[in-house]
Structure 1
Amino acid sequence: MKMSAEIEIGKRYHILNTYVNALSMDETVQAVEKIIKRGVPTQHVVVNALKVNLMIDDKQLLNIVNSCPLINADGASIVWAAKHLGVPLKERVTGIDLFQNLIKLANDKEYKVYLFGAKEEIVVTVKRILEKQYPNLHIVGYRNGYFTEADEPEIVKNISESGADMMFVAFSSPKKEYWINKYLKQLNIPFVMGVGGSFDVIAGVTNRAPLWMQNHGLEWFYRFIQEPRRLWKRYIIGNFKFVRLIYAEKYRLKSGGTING
């Protein structure tokens, strides 16, 4: 499938209905720097079990995700799936960890950053925290994520005039994938990444799982026990569906199928 920036970064492996680049965190950061230097507007995505499940029925999302030249394994579920399907992923590269590593890169290399999404008080807090933590960080613009469709042309114009090298969009999926894809060329920013709820975490509104749970692939369970009524369908039914798909794919491969590289 043709990718938006007409480049492919690192070895790319097929997992169910999508792809993953087999890159470590350091290699991913290096790849992003290459994208920025190249200067062609590029959309980045991460994949997890939820997104894979959504893409089964949502062909627009499927095409958007698979057209991105850099796709990282955000969820422990993808790493687990890779092991069962013989895909040599080096490590999990979560969206929030990549976001924080790229902010450090921006500070070190003087790349300009735009922050977009979340409530006004949250994005303002994130800006303040990041600027305090990284004295050389140049945040050239920020905006909350509350707007109407009629506001979008002016928003896109203002963002495109910011001169940002990288932009982080804190919307939920699949809204962030749709929005970035729709306006990618008009934004004229070399690297645009959806970061979901990362702003809430940086601002201290929500907490990440303890490190031991992160290391054992249990972040989903930590989120689930905090909001079981809202998340039971996503994590209990969704994870069961994903596991069933992986075992069906594993059986298919043993029966003579191949994994597309």
Structure 2
Amino acid sequence: MNRIEFLGIPIDNLTMAETLTTISGAIEQKRQLHHVVVNAGKVVAMQKDEQLKESVVNSNLINVDGQAVVWASRFLGTPLKERVAGIDLMENLVMLSGRKGYKIFFLGATEKIVKSVVNKYTKEHGEEIIAGYRNGYFKNSEEQQIAEQISKSGAQLLFVAISSPKKEKFLYQYREKLANVNLIMGVGGSFDVVAGKMKRAPLWMQKVGLEWFYRFVQEPKRMWKRYLVGNTKFILLVLKDRIKF
């Protein structure tokens, strides 16, 4: 794979189609891919959270899910081909599973939300793709048992809809216990969108890099610090790196 370095973080320079081909190949070859996405907020968080950084840089497949990172990569002279949004990748993989008969385990969100996601995908693609599901509210002491449950489920794909950095650390810590799962992937708040709890930004806002703002408008109290403060820190990181040239 064509991997670049962005602010000290390796990122695979792949399109959506290339990413899907890579993942499909891993499933057919029965090998594991630990997938992670990088956006502006995660880049900033990785500057101080060493565990998060370790979990990201040691992943097998690292996509960029954030238009700001795509733009910044061009500004810094290492252009990424395109944004590969985690929710779009998940939706494509669910459709692929329906065609190929792959089994998926869904972990995260509330019990109501994850059930809604499973019911929706069952209606659209058949119950054969569902290996199992569990909500994302559990204690640290329950993590090992949950990893064992997923491992025994027969799942070839695992989607974890838990906030960052918990999902990254969970997948990194239990990747060996989940070795028989061919794709382990964090999908953030994607279950909320699929279930209809949260609305996704219109396509034009996604294309011009304003999806973060649409999310901020929906949850200003929760998101203001992540986006307004985080985005400012990200811009400063990029400018600092550019000045070194």
How would you bin the TM-score normalised by the shorter chain? over 0.9
Q: Secondary structure at the match of 1:60?
A: helix
What residue number does 1:125 align with? 116
198-207 vs 87-96, which moves further: 87-96
For residues 156-193 of structure 1, what are the alpha-carbon distances to aligned partners after superposition, in whole Å with 9 as ceiling and x for unaligned? 22211111111000100000000011111112311100
What residue number does 1:198 align with? 190
Q: Secondary structure at the match of 1:145?
A: coil
Alpha-carbon distance, 1:114 to partner: 0.7
Query: Structure 1 counterpart of 2:140, which letter?
Result: E
What residue number does 1:142 align with? 133
The total of aligned residue pairs comes to: 244
CA contact (8 A) 1:20 1:73 kept: yes
Alpha-carbon distance, 1:77 to partner: 1.1
Query: Structure 2 counterpart of 1:180, which letter?
Result: L
CA contact (8 A) 2:70 2:79 kept: no
RMSD: 1.3
1:20 equivalenced with 2:11 (yes/no): yes
CA distance in 2, matches of 1:154, 1:59: 25
Structure 2 stretches lacking a partner, 5+ long: none
CA contact (8 A) 1:17 1:52 kept: no
Q: Secondary structure at the match of 2:82?
A: coil
For residues 212-237 of structure 1, what are the alpha-carbon distances to aligned partners after superposition, in whole Å with 9 as ceiling and x for unaligned? 11111100011112222222211111
For residues 109-167 of structure 1, what are the alpha-carbon distances to aligned partners after superposition, in whole Å with 9 as ceiling and x for unaligned? 11111111111111110001011122375111111111122322322222111111110
* Pairing of 1:94-133 with structure 2 (within 5 A): 94-133=85-124
Structure 1 stretches lacking a partner, 5+ long: 1-9, 254-261
CA distance in 2, matches of 1:143, 1:209: 27
For residues 4-24 of structure 1, what are the alpha-carbon distances to aligned partners after superposition, in whole Å with 9 as ceiling and x for unaligned? xxxxxx100011031211111
What residue number does 1:257 align with? none
CA contact (8 A) 2:103 2:157 kept: yes
Identity over aligned residues, as a percent? 48
Query: Structure 2 counterpart of 1:153, which letter?
Result: Q
